[in-house]
Amino acid sequence: MRKVAFIIIACLMVVIAQAQEPKEHLKFMGIELNGSISDFQTKLQTKGLTVSPLSKQQPTGVRIFDGTFSGEDAQIVVWYNPRTKEVYRAKAVISRYGKDLVEQLQRSMERKLDTKYGTEYKQSEEVEDDHLQKFMQHSYLVDNGTIDLFIVSTGYSAQNNFFLHVDYKDMVNFKKNTQDEMDDL
């Protein structure tokens, strides 16, 4: 009887452990946030993106691309683990001049994300940035990661440059990267 109980408990623990790990990685531009930076770069380049000259100014573990994201001119920033070269995060940054225009773009992008991921996974809050600009910030907490949608300003005026960020973090690889960094401590 004890063997049967032990086997049942062991099976339940395996099922619970597997349920906590997503079966697939979060996708950015249809590409899984998984694998090496070289493979990820090749897939981005087949979509028409090019490595930005700004990449040379970045620390190891960050690469920047120029291209389009969801029909908008954007810079794409990709993070990868410097040791394993495994990609764990990617972000699209879209520039607009004027607060009204960037908020309009954010609402459009929010509708797209709502349609794709559902509003049941969304958390929203109003935030104030360093330049006292107030914006809505949205986070989509999906099974295999998070997607954050937020605006950053460059000044106190509503007539400055503003940047919309659409930031994807893969849960499994983000945790692996964090653990790798913690192992150094």
In the prediction, which pLDDT does 16 show?
Answer: 44
Cβ atoms of 132 and 146 closer than 8 Å: no
Q: Which amino acid is at 71?
A: G
Calpha distance 164→149 (Å, rounded)? 7
Q: In this predicted model, what pLDDT tens digit does every residue of 60-76 receive, in sequence order?
A: 999 999 999 999 999 99
**pLDDT beneath 50: ranges in the chain:** 1-8, 10-19
3-state SS track over the chain: CHHHHHHHHHHHHHHHHHHHCCCCCCEECCEECCCEHHHHHHHHHHCCCEECHHHHHCCCCEEEEEEEECCEEEEEEEEECCCCCEEEEEEEEEEEECHHHHHHHHHHHHHHHHHHHCHHHEEEEEEECCCCCEEEEEEEEECCEEEEEEEEECCCCCCCEEEEEEEEEEHHHHHHHHHHHHHCC
In the prediction, which pLDDT does 74 show?
Answer: 98
Going 32 to 38 to 39 to 40, the CA torsion angle's sign is: positive
CA 18 to chain CA centroid, nearest Å: 23
In the prediction, which pLDDT does 21 show?
Answer: 59
In the prediction, which pLDDT does 87 show?
Answer: 97
Full-model pTM: 0.85
In the prediction, which pLDDT does 159 show?
Answer: 86
Nearest residue to 37 (alpha-carbon basis) of 67, 56, 68, 61: 61
